[in-house]
Structure 1
């Protein structure tokens, strides 16, 4: 991995944990920002996705894994409506651990692909018609972007499913 890729992964981890750990209000901005960033990152990083052999199948596996992990991340971040009608989320150690494992796993795979596991990954790729490092990179980027998107969508669904009133006369205050 390049220094830029290390910094990108570290920055992503710091951003996710800094904006989600603890008890936080759920606002439109807080839900929209990760989606906007995912769209921009996708447009920037996925301009030339390999499509030969089983590369597309690998991308679908990455997307499916990302969706499952995103739903899990959202479930590890409970939401509740406050008495004033606003919604808050609370993320703790398990949420942080999930993101550490996912981002750490991607980094470990990338590093091992250039080191001790290079021959095994090459042989696996050849026997499964995966065209190379660019295909793996695209699948991991797709996994990351779908994870973020699935977490936001799941959180939004969970917020919208909360009862609108928590006590007599309380009105929602423009949040989810």
Structure 2
């Protein structure tokens, strides 16, 4: 892992801080995590392998990310601010799920590049995964699914809170 890898991972993990403090559900606050993951994808994603069982790995990544994101969004407290805008604040479970999702990917990358490469290579060979590009794509799709799942749930819930009398 390079210094850039550490900075990107830390940035994605630290996006939990505004969630814990609470944020008004504006377009800017909604899109910030999505932009951060998209920037990471633009930096890391060089190809999108589809051979062997690479697509199955992608689907697993998307499902795990979506479950984490939807659960995170569902466990975020929403209230109505004095101006009628929805206000979202992550509780312990929502923050924990965010950190687990983001940190697990960073942890996997660290492990794979610091002694775990043989295990990853054996697992990949045994399961017809074509290599590191497939893992990169699956982990980025997992992150994107987590962010989109959370954003979708919070946006739907925010609309209900903001329009409630």
TM-score normalised by L of structure 1: 0.81
Q: Following TM superposition, by how much is the alpha carbon of 1:10 offset from its aligned partner in structure 2, in angstroms? A: 0.5
| 1:45-56 paired onto structure 2 within 5 Å | 45-56=44-55
2:6 equivalent to 1:6: yes
Distance in 1 separating the partners of 2:22 and 2:156? 18
> Which ranges of structure 1 fall in alignment gaps of 5 or more residues?
167-176
- Of 50-59 and 35-44, more deviation after overlay is shown by 35-44
Partner of 1:157: 156
Partner of 1:173: none
For each residue in 1:45-85, what CA deviation from the matched residue of structure 2 results, as whole angstroms up to 9, or x when unmatched? 33411121111111111111111111111122121224542
Structure with the higher fraction of residues in helix conformation: 2
Q: Following TM superposition, by how much is the alpha carbon of 1:38 offset from its aligned partner in structure 2, in angstroms? A: 3.9
For each residue in 1:112-161, what CA deviation from the matched residue of structure 2 results, as whole angstroms up to 9, or x when unmatched? 22344333222111111001111111110111112111111111111123
Partner of 1:169: none
Distance in 2 separating the partners of 1:7 and 1:163? 35
Q: Give SS of 2:163's match.
A: coil
Distance in 2 separating the partners of 1:163 and 1:24? 14
From the CA coordinates, give the structure whose radius of gyration is larger. 1
- Of 79-88 and 37-46, more deviation after overlay is shown by 37-46
Distance in 1 separating the partners of 2:13 and 2:155? 21
Kept in 1: contact 2:76–2:91 (CA 8 A): yes
- CA shift in 2, pair 1:153/1:165, >3 Å: closer
> Which ranges of structure 2 fall in alignment gaps of 5 or more residues?
none
Distance in 2 separating the partners of 1:125 and 1:147? 24
Q: Give SS of 2:22's match.
A: strand
Partner of 1:172: none
